[in-house]
Amino acid sequence: MLYSLAPMEGITGYTFRRVHAECFGALDRYYTPFLPPPRVGSPFGGKNLKEIDPVNNQGLNVVPQLLTKNADEFVWAARELAELGYGEVNLNLGCPSGTVVSKGKGSGFLRDPDALEAFLRDVCERSALPVSVKTRLGLEDDSEYGRILELYCTLPLAELIVHPRVQKDRYQGKPRWEPYGKTLERAPFPVAYNGDIFGTGDMDALAEAHPRTRHVMLGRGLLANPALARMLAGGLAASADELRQFHDKLFHAYVDEIGGNAVFRMKEWWFYAKCAFADPMAVHRTVRKVRKINEYEVAVEKVFNTQSLAAVARFSG
């Protein structure tokens, strides 16, 4: 089984990927949070360049993800990424955010299958890199997926990653496994599964229901339990020492990168990481109000000194 880390804007950037791999071993693949392509003729710049700079991604198998509906910009960005040494580019057709959807991007692109078809045919033909897609099933109802899957199946995709929810589900409700199964049956290219794999029981159930599953992308589950991929491969849960070391490395790396804003970045992580503790609400209360680095350090000391780990770390919303 292949395990990859989901793209998560604001969380699974290059620093997180590097520190996580150092502490828990590298996953098979990592996807960058979505990047807007630069204007045609311009290189990637600023924080987007840092995200894909090979120096920041050494030793990891990273697939950059683009969020766009502009074929020329996609093709241009793919060329830039090929020059940086990447081997695949991923298109985001899943983002459910209102501002993205209203511009017809992310899952909003699924509303217009004709435009999506023209875009995908064009970029698959002209892209310097193989194109993979991360998709939802539609916007309102999973019946929309029939036409979308038909379309995907006519294209030379490198891979199709299915997050089997519709846009209006956001990240709630049970993922719809049946359309994922249909994708496994029909697709002439590799398929990956993503959604609510939070523990070994979830993985066992998925493998039993869909034994042809070959690649699972982990998101919130791995943030709540950084040893999740290791456990899915038969390894041990994270010890308290491992969790502490991971936290400290991550925090110091963020301080080096963004100074005092590291506190806010870490609070995003704690939203998930609190689930590694027996009393997530107590952890939440301890870290939620801190603003400054010294306050943060005191709060974290308190968490690690007073809170015990959960029997099984598991994302719980």
Ligand X SMILES: Cc1cc2nc3c(=O)[nH]c(=O)nc-3n(C[C@H](O)[C@H](O)[C@H](O)COP(=O)(O)O)c2cc1C
Q: Which helix (H) or strand (E) holds 31?
A: strand 29-31
Is-contact 120 153, C-beta < 8 A?
A: no
Is-contact 55 29, C-beta < 8 A?
A: no
User: What single-letter DSSP state applies at residue 87?
Assistant: S
The least CB distance from residue 83 to ligand X, in Å, is: 23
Residue 133 φ/ψ, nearest 5 degrees: -130, 140
Nearer to ligand X, 3 or 277 (CB): 3
Angle 95-99-103 from CA coordinates, rounded to 5°: 85
Closest to 117 (Cα-Cα) out of 162, 147, 142: 147
Nearer to ligand X, 174 or 186 (CB): 174
Nearer to ligand X, 48 or 307 (CB): 48
The least CB distance from residue 298 to ligand X, in Å, is: 27
Residue carrying the six token digits 């919130």: 220
The least CB distance from residue 269 to ligand X, in Å, is: 11
The least CB distance from residue 282 to ligand X, in Å, is: 23
Strand 159-162, strand 62-63: pairing: unpaired
From CA 137, how far away is CA 162, in angstroms rounded? 8
Nearer to ligand X, 95 or 307 (CB): 95
Nearer to ligand X, 272 or 307 (CB): 272
Interacting residues toward ligand X by CB under 6 A = 6-9, 11, 33-34, 65, 92, 94-95, 134, 163, 171, 194-197, 218-221
CA distances from 124 to 42, 67, 119, 203 (A): 21, 15, 8, 32
The least CB distance from residue 72 to ligand X, in Å, is: 22
The least CB distance from residue 302 to ligand X, in Å, is: 26
Taking CB atoms, the residue at the shortest distance from ligand X is: 219
Nearer to ligand X, 275 or 307 (CB): 275
